[in-house]
Structure 1
Amino acid sequence: MIFDTMMQSNQKIRIKYAMLVVAASVLSTTATAQNAYPENPVTILVPFGPGGTSDIMARILAKHLREAMGGNLIIDNKGGAGGAIGMMQLKRAKADGYTLGLSVIGPEVLQPGMRSTGYTYQDFDHICGTYSVPLMMMVPQDSKFKNMQDVVAFASKNPRQLTYGTSGTGTLLHIAMEMLMKQANATALHVPYKSSAEMVTGLLGKQVMVISDTTTVAKQYKLRPLGIFSDQRLKSTPQVATTKEGGWPIQATIWGGLIAPKGLPKEIVAKLETACEKAVNSEGYKADVEPLDTPPHFLNAEAFAAFVKDESEKYTKLIQEMGITSEK
């Protein structure tokens, strides 16, 4: 009996030892994989088509992330439904660090505030904020409009004759113009496109009369700015007046950052956050974005997550008060 008891005790010890060995092996393998990250190409989903601010900023970020952490980063444009298609694809992706996404105010905050998209900001892990810039109303060089007051005056005298383009229904570009029209007691006709590039093509082709986007787009396509949706003028374009100066206290800022499907391992979040900070604060990144008037604006993971939460709550309330829906 003593022998049997000793055998059972030894067997239990061997089982516990084997379990510890397996657990240690799993932990070691996981740690090695995370330390080696990224071993495979990393895809950054951009929820808009190529050519717009989001696409341009994502490509600049990817370039400097490669230098900061190594590995190959690939941009994958998934436009449509105001960015919601790309966001849903990101939500469904595996949370292993090999599929990331560019967060933009429209797809992450505005679309879920207007309709059921199948996701909210809470379905993503926030890694870092990278840029923030106010919207600017712009026209072709040969436009008859000289400033934002001209646009509002035309819309007031000619109901629904002013045509304006956006990169999608329910984007900040859409909401900003609707806020302006409402405050000016005017109306305009909204023409949505799938991307900023298509929107600019529509503007240059005289399909629409005005558009609003960032200074990045204005410089990229040599468009003439009329006004800024802000309470302060930009240093790069001090001659361009703000909506506040025109008597319309509207602020509309496009921001972006890096996110991932919910559940990304903390070690990978930390590695990406560190690489992001290094990339955004690098002289190379600053040199690339300076000509586009989209200055670096780094937020760490915690600060970016808190910022997006606040933006979501603010704009959801605003959208409900204004009665704006994605079908408008």
Structure 2
Amino acid sequence: MILGITTLNRKTLIKYATLLVATSVLSTSATAQNAYPENPVTILVPFGPGGTSDIMARILAKHLRQAMGGNLIIDNKGGAGGAIGMMQLKRAKPDGYTLGLSVIGPEVLQPGMRKTGYTYQDFDHICGTYSVPLMMMVPQDSAFKNLQDVVAFAEKHPKQLTYGTSGTGTLLHIAMEMLMKQADSTALHVPYKSSAEMVTGLMGKQVMVISDTTTVAKQYKLRPLGIFSDQRLESSPQVATTKEGGWPIQATIWGGLIAPKGLPQDIVATLETACEKAVNSEGYKADVEPLDTPPHFMGAKAFAAFAKAESEKYSKLIKEMGISNEKPQ
């Protein structure tokens, strides 16, 4: 009978009741964590299909499925140099079911040029996955054989050298303007909405040169002219660097996985672990090796610090170049 319970028994019952409640909470928490993802996870790619970002996102999604289970869906949201997709990601619910592919252009370059409505601080960084220098490229039948040919044409024919990019304010745009500035030359910038459209413009002779990663060069069988780096690529030892030509320019495309600000830490940890497993897997390495885009994993804290440093560096550079007031096209 309850009236016969001693003080000791009461304390014992309270102790066991507290233990049961704690166990129940831990069990529920563990079940919720183990259940993620219960629904399909969407990865927003801030560019159209066919470019480096899209290709790398699809490879990552493939191996994330294997690392953490569940279905991952790629959703391309191109336009405004990637800012449209980034704003959609910022507005998404931070529940782990809408993630995004972070790329240097949309995350740190666009906010450095204009008011985008977001900065790198509006996102939780999960993992960095790749890093590769830009490469200038042309169709196989182009008269240009190297970077010197391109610069010489620009010097002789001001504003007649046309080059395409995947958008105003992208690294593709900034790298080419840096080259023109250092070479004391000028060229005409033609922005497109995606790398795929940019390549179409190149093949259709609407522009004379483009710059993108080796991924795009191999995907579309384009001929490389030079690399925006101080070291040659092991996979393309015949391609000279901008530094060798006398223009010390480094422009590297990097990417990774981010989420709307406020993602629960248990989900961040789950995704970070799955990302590390995916990027370091033999399958992932095999998929990216033909594209000359080697794995480059960074954990959540390291990736967030890296994005901050890149944002500060390029914001300063953009102001120095005088393109900070350009509007997206």
- The question of a shared fold, defined as TM-score above 0.5 by the shorter chain, is answered with yes
Between the aligned partners of 1:69 and 1:288, the Cα distance in structure 2 is 18
What is the match of residue 55 of structure 1? Answer: 54
1:34 Cα deviation after fit:
2.2
- Report whether the alignment pairs 1:165 with 2:164: yes
Q: Helix, strand or coil: the match of 1:234?
A: coil
User: How many percent of aligned residue pairs carry the same amino acid?
Assistant: 90
Q: Are 2:301 and 1:298 aligned? A: no
Listed as ranges, the gaps of 5+ residues in structure 1 are 1-13
Contact 2:114 2:327 (8 Å CA) reproduced:
no
1:260 pairs with 2:259 = yes
Partner residue in 2 for 1:103: 102
| Partner of residue 43, structure 1 | 42
Distance between the aligned counterparts of 2:126 and 2:247, measured in 1? Answer: 34
- Report which stretch shifted further, 193-202 or 27-36: 27-36
Measured in 2, the distance between the counterparts of 1:30 and 1:148 equals: 58
Q: Give 1:215's aligned residue.
A: 214
Following the alignment from structure 2 to structure 1, what is the Cα–Cα distance between the partners of residues 72 and 158? 47
User: Match of 2:118, as an amino acid?
Assistant: Y
User: What amino acid does structure 1 have at the position aligned with 2:143?
Assistant: K
Matches within 5 A, 1:1-328: 29-325=28-324, 326-327=326-327
Structure 1 counterpart of 2:195, one-letter code: S
| 1:5 corresponding residue in structure 2 | none
Give distance in 2, aligned partners of 1:26 and 1:80. Answer: 45
Q: State the Cα deviation string for residues 159-178 of structure 1 (Å, max 9, x = none).
A: 10000000001000000000
* Separation in structure 1 between the aligned mates of residue 65 and residue 253 of structure 2, nearest angstrom: 24
Which residue identity is paired with 1:322? M
SS of equivalent to 2:283: helix
* Contact persistence 2:41–2:96 (CA under 8 A): yes
Looking at structure 2, the residues matched to 88 and 26 of structure 1 have their Cα atoms a distance apart, in angstroms, of 36
Give the CA deviation at 1:322. Answer: 1.1
Shift of 1:28: 5.2
Q: In structure 2, what is the Cα distance between the partners aligned to 1:92 and 1:31?
A: 28
SS of residue in 2 equivalent to 1:212? strand
2:163 and 2:28 map into 1 onto residues whose CA distance is: 55
Residue 200 (structure 1) shift = 0.1
Give the structure-1-normalised TM-score. 0.92
Structure 1 SS opposite 2:290: helix
Structure 2: unaligned runs, 5 residues or longer: 1-13
SS at match of 2:43: strand
User: In structure 2, the residue corresponding to 1:231 is in which secondary structure?
Assistant: coil
Q: What is the CA deviation profile of residues 193-241 of structure 1, one whole-angstrom value per residue up to 9, with x for unaligned ones?
A: 0000000000000000000000000000000000000000000100000
Is the alpha carbon distance of 1:82 and 1:283 closer, same or farther for their aligned partners in structure 2, counting shifts above 3 Å?
same
Instruction: Give the Å deviation of 1:35.
Output: 2.2
Instruction: Answer yes or no: is the 8 Å Cα contact 2:272–2:299 preserved in 1.
Output: yes
> TM-score normalised to the size of structure 2?
0.92
Task: Quote how far apart the aligned CAs of 1:116 are.
Answer: 0.4
SS at match of 2:84: helix
Query: CA RMSD, aligned part only?
Result: 1.8
